[in-house]
Structure 1
Amino acid sequence: MTNGEYNNCYMYDVNYTEILAQGKVMADPQWPRVKCRHGWSYNFTEIPYATVATEQNWVCDDAALPTYAQSIFFLGAIVGGLLFGWVADRFGRIPALIGTNMMGLLAGVGTAFVSNFWEFAIMRFFVGFAFDNCFTMMYILVLEYVGPKYRTFVANMSIAIFFTGAACLLPWIAYFLADWKLLAIVTSAPLLLVIFTPFVVPESARWLVSQGKVEKAVGILKKLEKGNGRQVPPQTYQIFTDSCKRMQEQEAQNGKYSVLDLFKSPRLRRTTLLLIVIWMAISLVFDGHVRNVGSLGLDIFFTFTLACFTELPADTLLTVILDRFGRRWLACSSMVLSGVFSLLATVVPVGIYSAALAIMGRFFVNISYNIGLQWAAEVLPTVVRAQAVAFIHIMGYVASIIAPFVVYLANISQALPLIILGILGIIGGLLALLLPETLNHVLPQTLSDGEEFGRGQSIWDFPCLAKQVDGDEDEKRNADVEEVRSQAFVRGSQTGASLNASTGGELRSSILRRSTKSRNSTKL
């Protein structure tokens, strides 16, 4: 006992029989101390079952081990993102989809049989390989078959409905199973269904075209035509084939560019660095809110469910307003509001008030996450777009490695994590004002376009208040934008926002990853 409080990690190194024989009944703080020798008893009031941390006594000097495991998980996410992105580009979406789900299945089930920290960390590393990729590969495949008119809707609402439903259900599966090993098996086992994918889902026709397999792509399209009960004129397929050949020629010309080219001119370098910093801030704030639900003073299962439910209204709202109000001010306002609500949560009593404000912070960072995913793909020039967005999203994973350590600061002060998340949210939101608006602008194609893109725009420009151009100019501009969108390579991850990339970026088809994952990685 120190200063009237019991120490959970140390005991006095004395002979208690002799001490009692001497008539002493009060401990002397000057007695020598040693680490506890007889184990620990745990309070299972909040989480009514044993976890890997309690079973293996990751407390006291080992209390940071779960935090290290989560960071190792995100290291796996970085490696897995690069690996399965390459597999998807080289061998196709279906092989990548099967590979990432099988990796998640094997490592997830293997987690239930670990006996020490390093075995657990290795399993988490390989589960990280499947992080996001286990569902976004299918997500990409679907979006590559969806026309431009419906992509924003499909990208946002599929996540809003299916991710939200599963995420809200997850804590209650954990609660009723009441066994972390069984939870690892039950939540991993459904990934086995991926083996049926080749029998029910065709390979991406867009990917086949990018590999020069035009005839095979046409064969798949004809099967879809028959399945949909539609009839496409033969000349349409001929036009499609000719168009594919032209796109391949364009890709051959663009193949000489890399991410490094973004840093060779001043304005494009500034834009790229801003995108990296803003996306890292968004990723860290989002993942921090996901992990901080246990420090809000309410039932963790209920709070986790409620926080995940914010994804539904956030995605729904964004689907309605994104193309009306633009990217810049929506990104700024949502990030700043996330930061403000996070800071307000630290000045009210812990419990329902602080939890409500923190959940509002989570709601607004959901919005900024989805905006950031799409915005990066629109700002960057076509010739390096896919590579650049992939790089920016990997930097988001790097930021997510820090998130568990930010949440761990709650052991020092319960308010510290929310203070850090709040400050980062406000800074990230204000930095977003320095990026160019993309709504109603033709996306940059070349590096020189990227260097000039946004020049002359003012921070105070609001797309919804812009003066209407004359009919001919407006029609021409919309036609140009629609042409770019019609060639878009769309990828959404966990956030689900559509990524409007043009043909050159699509044919390179590097996988555009979402950080975050963090969404499913929280261990209950």
Structure 2
Amino acid sequence: MKFDDILKNVGEFGPYQRRVYLISLIFKFTGSWATLLSVFINAPVDHWCATPEWTPGCEQYGFSDEACALAQKEGSIPSNYTSDGELEYAQCEKYNVSGVGFWPGIDPSNYSSETMSCDSGWVYDDSQYKTTTVTEFDLVCGNGELTQVSQSIYYGGFLAGSIFFGILSDVIGRWWTLLLANLVSLVSGVAIVFSPNWWFFATMRFFMGSGSISFNITFWLPESARWLISVGKYDKAEKVITKVAEVNKAELQKPLFTKEFMVEQERIRKEHRPTGLDLIRTPRMRMRTINLVFICTLSPLPSPIPSYVFHGLLFVRMVNSMVYHGLSLNSSNLGTNDYVAFAITGGIEIPAYIMDIFIVEFFGRRLSLFFCLMLGGVACLSTAFIPTGVALTTVSMIGKFGIAGSFAIIYLYTVELYPTNIRGVAMGNCSMFSRVATISAPLVLILAKYWDPLPLVIYGSLSVIASLSALALPETRGKKLPETLEEGEQFGLNDGEKGETTSETVHDNPAFSMEDEK
């Protein structure tokens, strides 16, 4: 009996699966805090050059602190009117006020037209944020990019932690690995509060990211029964399946694994032990993986189907990850209240995920992914023509809605496209490149200094391209998932059929034989 048949027997989403889902939800709840707190701790703050020469200088005139700061700003900082008619003050230069005394209504044109850099630091507008990394470490005027660099370093910790703690869990066990990873997150998270400089802050963010990712890679949850079967651990797989059946109050057909089934599985494993090389070893898997990485680069090896059928999944995942995190981090740059914009940015994901539940079953994975990516892309591109404010926030949230929807679908889709025995390797490969894309997401936001809408235009363009790439992927809805490399080679060839494949049909195909694996 194959695992898909067993799963239908015990229940595909019964009380047991809901219990595991709830446990995952609780542990993942605070994980987003560590990732997205940079929206606030790295938030941009209005600033202008400090003029210590005029401190004190307002007391004798009876000015309040706010009125004094404004008067000194008007008398020492260059300003001009924007095309919208708003008065804009320079942030990185000031008039030379050395030897000039302050008085109310002082006019810079009366004493100097010479400007200079902010040699005495900056004054920060604390009306919204009392303290951020910008104000603490003076991340302005040439150092402003470091706010996004620190977030990229945090995502770099994701990548490093995925590799390190993934390997460590196989050496010392998952429980100890999870404990160590959480200890790293705890220590680095507390240490951040006492950061003396940006370098220390960025380093602690790296370790915080490496520890936080442990919730994704260490399964304090029950082991996958499908994977246990694929590696021949039938006793452990039977225990997991029996537990599922007990909780779901389902009757199991005995025996779960016949002698013939186990002999056949053992024969397959002996002929070929799954490794990372399986992603490129056989013709269709090789084309699928190469095209995932290089998008439209065609494999030179012969195949009975066009290679474009399998191109794009990794590209789609990379774009999806970049745009999702980029839009999340960009909520403080939408021209409205940061807290309101952030709340809407997060809240918009809820209806997106609810929508996913229905559209993936009604329209299938491929069209659903296409729709969500296209919606997100078009919305992001539209922001180039909308001024900051409520309208921009609304359109940006439509973009986030689409990207959030695709972000959830892509995880389901990736799992279903690869056979069981190399699914873990494939997921790891896709996740690694997704991490690389995530690292670049904050850096794209830096480009706003050249043109404000540029980051969203880049995100939108990539989303549109990725949506078109998604159309070339095979549909997986309602089909039995491949469990071996041979079945994976056949998967998606006959979309008009029910997708049920066997190793016999694979060996009948002249384009594939076990010799290709050797």
What TM bracket, shorter-length normalisation? 0.5 to 0.7
Give the distance between the partners of 1:456 and 1:73, measured in 2 at CA.
44
- Residues in 2 aligned to 1:64 and 1:299: alpha-carbon distance in whole angstroms: 22
- Decide whether the 8 Å contact of 2:280 with 2:287 is kept in 1: no
Among 365, 374, 399, the residue aligned to 1:336:
374
Query: Is the CA contact 1:100–1:129 (under 8 Å) kept in the aligned structure 2?
Result: yes
Q: Return the alpha-carbon distance in structure 2 between the equivalents of residues 124 and 134 of structure 1.
A: 17
Summarize the alignment of residues 163-242 of structure 1 with structure 2, pairs less than 5 Å apart. none
Instruction: Quote the residue 1:141 is aligned against.
Output: 221
In 1, Cα distance between equivalents of 2:383 and 2:97: 45
The one of 91, 115, 135 equivalent to 1:8 is 91
**1:112-511 correspondence to structure 2 within 5 Å:** 112-134=193-215, 137=218, 141=221, 144=223, 251=269, 253-259=271-277, 261-262=279-280, 265=283, 267-273=287-293, 274-447=312-485, 449-455=487-493
**Aligned-residue CA RMSD in angstroms?**
3.8
**Contact 1:348–1:354 (CA under 8 A) maintained in structure 2:** yes
Partner of 1:43: 125
CA shift, 1:28, in A, is 4.6
The percentage of counterpart residues that share the same residue type is 29
Q: CA deviation at 1:97?
A: 3.0
- 1:102 equivalenced with 2:183 (yes/no): yes
The answer to whether structure 1 residue 80 and structure 2 residue 161 are counterparts is yes
Deviation track 1:310-364 (CA, whole Å, cap 9, x = no partner) reads 2221222212221221111111111011011112233233211111111111111
Distance in structure 1 (CA, Å) of the matches to 2:350 and 2:227: 31
Secondary structure of the structure 1 residue equivalent to 2:480 = coil
Paired residues of 1:259 and 1:387 also in contact (CA < 8 A):
no
Q: 1:57 to 1:238 in 2, by over 3 A?
A: same
Distance 1:59 1:102 in 2: 33
Q: TM-score, normalised by structure 2?
A: 0.66
What is the CA–CA distance in structure 2 between the aligned matches of 1:318 and 1:218, rounded to whole Å?
32
What one-letter code is carried by the residue in structure 1 that aligns with 2:276? Answer: S
1:68 corresponding residue in structure 2: 149
Residues 251, 40 of structure 1: alpha-carbon distance in 2 compared, 3 angstrom cutoff? farther
Cα offset for 1:132? 3.8
| Larger Rg, first or second structure (1 or 2) | 2
Change (3 A) 1:131 1:256: same
1:175-200 Cα shifts (integer Å, max 9, x gaps): xxxxxxxxxxxxxxxxxxxxxxxxxx
State the alpha-carbon separation in 2 of the partners of residues 251 and 141 from structure 1: 26
Going by fraction, where is helix more abundant, 1 or 2?
1
2-structure distance, mates of 1:52, 1:425: 31
Change (3 A) 1:319 1:247: farther
Q: Is the 8 A contact 1:278 1:431 kept in 2?
A: yes
Q: 1:236, CA displacement in angstroms?
A: 5.3
- The amino acid of 2:453's aligned partner reads A
8 Å contact 1:262–1:447 — kept in the other structure?
Answer: no
In 1, Cα distance between the equivalents of 2:108 and 2:335? 40
Note the residue ranges of structure 1 that are not aligned, 5 or more in a row.
Answer: 146-204, 458-465, 482-524
Which one-letter code corresponds to 2:124 in the other structure? Y
Say if 1:259 and 1:301 are closer, same or farther in 2 by CA, change over 3 A. Answer: farther
Question: CA-to-partner distance for each residue in 1:64-90, whole Å, 9 max, x for gaps?
Answer: 111111111111110101122223445
The secondary structure found in structure 2 opposite 1:60 is: coil
Query: Using the alignment, how far apart are the partners of 1:327 and 1:56 within structure 2?
Result: 46
- Contact map agreement 1:73 1:127 (CA 8 A) in 2: yes
Question: Relative to 1, partners in 2 of residues 1:135 and 1:323: Cα closer, same or farther, differing over 3 Å?
Answer: same
What secondary structure sits across from 1:98 in the alignment? Answer: helix
- Structure 2 CA distance for partners of 1:249 and 1:40, relative to 1, 3 Å: farther
In structure 2, distance between residues paired with 1:263 and 1:216: 30
Measured in 1, the distance between the counterparts of 2:370 and 2:425 equals 25
Deviations 1:371-406 (A, max 9, x none): 111212222234422112211111011011111122
Instruction: Write the letter of the residue equivalent to 2:186.
Output: L
CA distance in 1, matches of 2:369, 2:236: 41
SS in 2 for 1:377: helix
Q: How far, CA to CA, are the matches of 1:218 and 1:438 in structure 2?
A: 27
| 1:295–1:410 CA contact under 8 A, matched in 2 | no
SS at 1:41's partner residue? Answer: strand
Residue identity matched to 2:221: L
1:212-235 Cα offsets, whole Å, 9 max, x none, are 887678778888999x697989x9
What SS does the corresponding residue of 1:285 show, helix, strand or coil?
Answer: helix
CA deviation map 1:12-41 (0-9, x unaligned): 567434999xx9854654x3624331x222
Query: What is the deviation of 1:100?
Result: 2.6
Ranges in structure 2 where 5+ consecutive residues have no aligned partner: 1-76, 81-87, 294-311, 503-518
Matches within 5 A, 1:25-40: 25-26=109-110, 28-29=112-113, 31=114, 33-37=116-120, 39-40=121-122
Q: Distance in 2 between matches of 1:229 and 1:435?
A: 34
CA distance in 2, matches of 1:60, 1:253: 62
Do 1:298 and 1:352's aligned partners in 2 also have CA atoms closer than 8 Å?
yes
